[in-house]
Structure 1
Amino acid sequence: MYRKLVIQTIIYSIGFVFPKMVNYVFLKFFTVFFKREEFSLYTDMYALSFIVIGFLSFGLENTYFRFLYKKNYNKKIVFSTGVIIQLLISSFFLLISINLIKYLSSIAGYHHHSEYFFMFFFIIFFDTICVLPMAWLRANDKPVQYSTINIVNILIQSFLIIYLFLYSDNIFYGKNTFSFFIFKWISSFTDKIGYIFFSNMISSLVNLFLVFPILFKEVTIKKFNKVLAIKMLNFGIPIMIGTIAFSINENLDKILIKRWVSDEMNGAYSACYKIASFISLYLRIFRLGIEPFFFKKSKDSDAIYYYEEIIYMFILFGLIFYVLICGNINIFMEFLIDKKYHVAVSIIPIIMMGNLFLGIYTNLSIFYKIIDKPIIGTYISLIGVLITFLFNVIFIFISTDHSFMIPAWGTFTSYGSMLIVLYIWGKKQFLQFCNKKIKNIIMHFLFALFIVFLIRKKTELSFLLQFLYLIIIFFLEKKRLTNLIK
């Protein structure tokens, strides 16, 4: 069981890590090429789009996995019903948003950049339609196809970005051709940030073409089940609200800093936030391989045992990852972002630990999905949003020096509070196994934080302290690590 799980997770990792690594390479390129205020515009557009995607997703990815493994539902009916729901929602969004494009871009502060909103409306439309076909690949144990699509997608996007940045001024195109209108439109962009958005739109369209065979083969209107659709929406809407809350937690600080403080500050903060989000690679890789497995095992008698071991190892390796990243922040900063963005480097350890809290919360949250109570996650996520909002209000309206640290501590406190609330609520419901190892988990957290504190105080001993940490962890968890390897 473990061997198959590990192999699939590795393949998923390739498809997920490679695009992310390419994005980090471009992060260096963008921070060198763009001023901080220009980089702020780039991050702000994606921050706004993530909130919209959270709404349009309607929690259908998790809903699909949940209903897929219920014995009284046909798999093809579940998939067809989910895809048709998603298509109707996305099409309605595209129709409304295109007709209101000038109004929406003006509200967001981009009345001179309506073309950016036009591209992002299509990016969001294409990406949301692709969510369930990509989930279908995971559910049907097709990690190679999943990874191939992701890699092709990022290669196309990368090629277009490089081509437009280097050769857009020298493009030759004949008149009365489709290319003439495309390149004439591209040349009308007021700055080169539009090249990034255009490349993303094309790669998202290609992604839709790549998953279209799945849609063509597996989806038919006849398989749409109205009763099932209502049940899926009832299950998915609380997850959707939780997803929107997560998007607000992740992006509210950047949205507000841009509009209430300055683009320059937001540019530096956003760039360093991306470095801190490096740990999300680990979190996402784990989720890609494990989440379908969790749902499959939910009815087995040994399910709790596997949940316990896997989540414990997730926390352990997450803390190792945290120590290694924090111990080498200067190296990451030097390679990944330009020096003019380094002013916000102090937020990185705080944001990283907040993201680790989020990863633990996400893995534990699988339990309330299994017992069909996603509304629990909605309530907890709203608590997180409230905390994030309060910290950002303090930062914007009360703080006199507008320290980077206030919104960073907001992220840390928000995700940490969500994790604590979930644990307290679920301790008597379905997280009994956590009680057995909670002392070990707390010990690992305190030890990792102590090592990071020492590294920041004694930077010249960084490598020695990291090596010492790894040795001690190995001896503390020797039996478990040896069994995992076996």
Structure 2
Amino acid sequence: MLKKLLSDTVIYGLTTVLMRLINYLLVPLHTKVFDPDAFGIVSIFYSFAVFFNVIYTYGMETTYFWFASKEGSDKEEVFSKILSSLSITSVVFSSILWLFSGQISTLLGFENSDIYVKFFALLYAIDTLLVVPFASLRIDGQAKRFAVLKIIEVVLTVGLNYFFLVTCVSIVETNSDSFITEFVSKIYDPSLGLGYAFLANLISKAIIMILFMDKFIKLKFSWSWKSMKPFYSYGFPLVFAGVAFAINEVSDRLLIPLLLPEGFYSFGDADYAVGVYAACYKLSIFVTFTVTAYKYSAEPFFFNQAGSKDSPKVFARIMYYFVIVLMVMVVAVSANLEVIAPILIRREEYLVGLPVVPILLMANLFLGMYYNLSVWFKVTDNTKYGALISAIGALFTISLNALLVPYFGFYGSAIATFVCYLSMMILAYVLGQKYYPIPYNVKMISFYLIMGGCFLVLLSQLSINGFWESIFIHNAIFALFLLIVFFMERQFIVSTLQIVQKKILKK
């Protein structure tokens, strides 16, 4: 049971690492090609994408896991019903966005950018149609195919970004009479500018859709309110949870331009500040890819194991080691920010936002804990509580941004994100213990969180002259943290190493 979870997590984890590392090539590329103002616009559009993805999918991914994992269920029938529903609604939603693209771009404050809205109208529809095929790979244990397709997608996205934003620009600027220049001039329009960042994503999604043709061929298109009512009853509360969660996830990047006083930062305006904050947010990569990888493997695992009498103990054990691993990552990244940041962020002007990174790392750790804790309302068919918890988190996010951003800038947004995910984690635990008790080791989990927090404060307060001196001392502090973890978990580590050694000797 745990071996399967670990195996899938390793595959998803390695995939996510590769995806994130390749995808994060876009950070140095975009921060080199775009100034912070333009990068801020890209970030704002993708922030809205999070909201629309929730609306487009309306909880059907988790709904698919719930109904397809039930004993005696017909997975192909569940697949066809849910995908049929998503196909109908995607056409309707995207048609509305396409028809009103001009008005929408004006409403967002970006004149003459209706082509960006049209790109996203197509992108949302295609991305939604890929949700169920990818979910079917996860529930069927086809982690390798999932990994291959995800890596293809991200490689295409990065490659096309580089082609449009670097190669085509370079060729057109040479203004030669060669065949290549003539060809590029026909497919490349310099006036589209940052729109190519969106077009590259759209093309890569369309290619992945073609590679899923074997899934779409099996689709038996069918829809009726009567047959879909059980699916909607389970999934619709997740829409409210998803919208609230989207507010928690991206509203900071949308609220900063509205709440930041004019002239607050000497280095740039509000769009500039959004670009700096968004770039620094991406430095939480090492925690977010671990959380994402874990979520991919854990969600179907939880549904499949929920009926086992030993499942509460298993879930508690998973949470315990999950927190330890993430806390080690948070301290490691914080200790080495001076090395990591210049590699991923190519312009020095973005680095002014680095102090927010440890706050965001801890926020994402709490988000990962929330994913663990949220298992109870999904396996007990109480998704309404997920909506309630996310709504309370959204309330914290909006109110704290409104309160803190005018005085602390994007530091206020980072604090709001931290408090939001912490509150959601605590609420999920308290309610979960009432409806689906799991014997979490609260004492030791709290110990690691508090100890890790103390080390982060120590790292952030140290002021050391000299790059190498700073790296040495920061990593000495990290090594001390590792020694404490090893001392506390020595029995488990030693026993695990002995088991691995025996398996190697048998082979």
Q: Same fold (TM over 0.5)?
A: yes
1:442 equivalent among 429, 441, 446: 446
CA offset at residue 91 of structure 1? 1.2
CA contact (8 A) 2:276 2:353 kept: yes
Structure-2 change in CA distance of 1:432 and 1:295 (3 Å): closer
Aligned partners of 1:70, 1:363: CA distance in 2, in Å? Answer: 21
**Is the 2:102–2:113 contact (alpha carbons within 8 Å) kept by the matching residues of 1?**
no
Kindly indicate whether the alpha-carbon contact (under 8 Å) linking 1:258 and 1:266 is maintained by their aligned counterparts in 2: yes
Cα distance in 1 for residues equivalent to 2:483 and 2:450 = 16
Secondary structure of 1:427's match? helix
Aligned residue for 2:112, secondary structure, equals coil
The separation in 2 between residues aligned to 1:186 and 1:108, in whole angstroms, is 26
- 2:24 equivalent to 1:24: yes
1:272 pairs, out of 253, 268, 280, with 280
SS of the equivalent of 1:428 reads helix
8 Å Cα contact 1:315-1:360 kept in structure 2: yes
Q: In the TM superposition, what whole-angstrom CA distance separates every residue of 1:121-153 from its partner, at most 9, and x where no partner exists?
A: 111111111011001011111111111111111
Equivalent residue in structure 2 for 1:189, among 191, 206, 213: 191
How far the C-alpha of 1:418 sits from its partner, in A, is: 1.1
Q: Report if the CA contact (8 A) 1:36-1:267 is conserved.
A: yes
Unaligned segments of structure 2, at least 5 residues: 175-181, 261-269, 465-469, 500-507
Question: CA separation in 2, counterparts of 1:431 and 1:181?
Answer: 64
**Range with bigger deviation, 120-129 or 21-30:** 21-30
Give the stretch that moved more between structures: 474-483 or 363-372.
Answer: 474-483
Q: Any idea what SS the aligned residue of 1:433 has?
A: coil
Question: Using the alignment, how far apart are the partners of 1:356 and 1:194 within structure 2?
Answer: 33
What secondary structure is seen at the aligned counterpart in 2 of 1:71?
coil
Q: What does residue 250 of structure 1 align with?
A: 249
By how many angstroms is 1:425 displaced?
2.0
Encode CA deviations 1:318-341: one digit per residue, 9 max, x unaligned: 111111111111111121112110
Q: How does 1:191-340 map to 2 (within 5 A)?
A: 191=193, 193-217=194-218, 219-221=219-221, 226-261=225-260, 262-337=270-345, 338-340=347-349
RMSD: 2.2
Distance change in 2, residues 1:116/1:181 (3 Å): farther
Contact 1:78-1:228 at 8 Å conserved across structures = no
Partner of 1:470: 482
- Letter of the 1:197 counterpart: F
1:14 Cα offset (Å): 2.9
Q: Deviations for 1:177-213, whole angstroms, at most 9, x for unmatched residues?
A: xxx999657405342x112111111001111111121
- Rounded to whole Å, the distance in 2 between the matches of 1:220 and 1:484 is 48
Q: Which moved more, 1:1-10 or 1:63-72?
A: 1-10
The C-alpha deviation readout for 1:326-358, integer Å capped at 9, x for no partner, is 111111112111211011111111111111111
Report if aligned partners of 1:105, 1:117 keep a CA contact under 8 Å in 2: yes
Q: Secondary structure of the equivalent of 2:234?
A: helix
How many residue pairs are counted as aligned between the two chains? Answer: 472
**CA distance in 1 between partners of 2:57 and 2:380 (Å):** 21
Report the equivalent of 2:127: 127
Which residue of structure 1 lines up, in the alignment, with residue 146 of structure 2? 146
CA contact (8 A) 2:237 2:383 kept: yes
The corresponding residue for 1:177 is none
Pair 1:302–1:122, CA change in 2 (3 A) = same
Q: Counterpart of 2:400 in structure 1: which amino acid?
A: F
Query: Are positions 1:415 and 2:454 aligned together?
Result: no
Aligned to 1:11: 11
Q: Tell me the CA shift for residue 413 of structure 1.
A: 0.7
CA distance in structure 1 between the partners assigned to 2:482 and 2:226 by the alignment:
53
- TM-score normalised to the size of structure 1? 0.92
Percent of paired sites with the same residue = 27
Once superposed, which parts of structure 1, at least 4 consecutive aligned residues long, lie more than 4 Å away? 180-186, 482-485
1:453 and 2:457 are equivalent in the alignment: yes
For 1:270 and 1:402, locate their aligned partners in 2 and report how far apart those are by CA, in whole Å. 16
Equivalent of 2:432, from 426, 429, 434?
A: 426
**Distance change in 2, residues 1:183/1:196 (3 Å):** farther
Match of 1:66 in 2: 66
How far does the alpha carbon of each residue in 1:375-421 deviate from its partner, in whole angstroms, 9 at most, with x for none?
A: 0010111101111111121245xx3x443211111001111111112
- The 2-side partners of 1:376 and 1:165 are apart by 45
- Taking a change above 3 Å as real, the CA distance of residues 456 and 260 of structure 1, as seen in their structure-2 partners, is closer
- Partner of residue 371, structure 1: 380
Could you tell me how far apart the structure 1 residues matched to 2:183 and 2:133 are? 32
AA paired with 1:165?
A: L
Paired residue for 1:176?
none
Question: How do residues 67-146 of structure 1 correspond to structure 2 at under 5 angstroms?
Answer: 67-146=67-146
Equivalent residue number for residue 399 of structure 2: 390
User: Contact 1:277–1:351 at 8 Å: present in 2 too?
Assistant: no
Taking the aligned partners of 1:281 and 1:123, their CA distance within structure 2 comes to 23
Tell me, in whole angstroms, the C-alpha distance in 2 between the residues paired with 1:231 and 1:445: 40
Indicate conservation of the 8 Å contact 2:5/2:297, yes or no: yes
Q: Which residue of 2 aligns with 1:57?
A: 57
CA shift for structure 1 position 6: 2.1
- TM-score scaled by length of structure 2: 0.88
1:86-129 CA distance string (max 9 Å, x none): 11111111111111111111111123111111111111111111
Structure 1 position 46, deviation (Å)? 0.3
The alpha carbon displacement at 1:251 in A equals 1.0
Shift of the alpha carbon at 1:478?
2.2
1:354 corresponds to? 363
SS in 1 for 2:110: coil
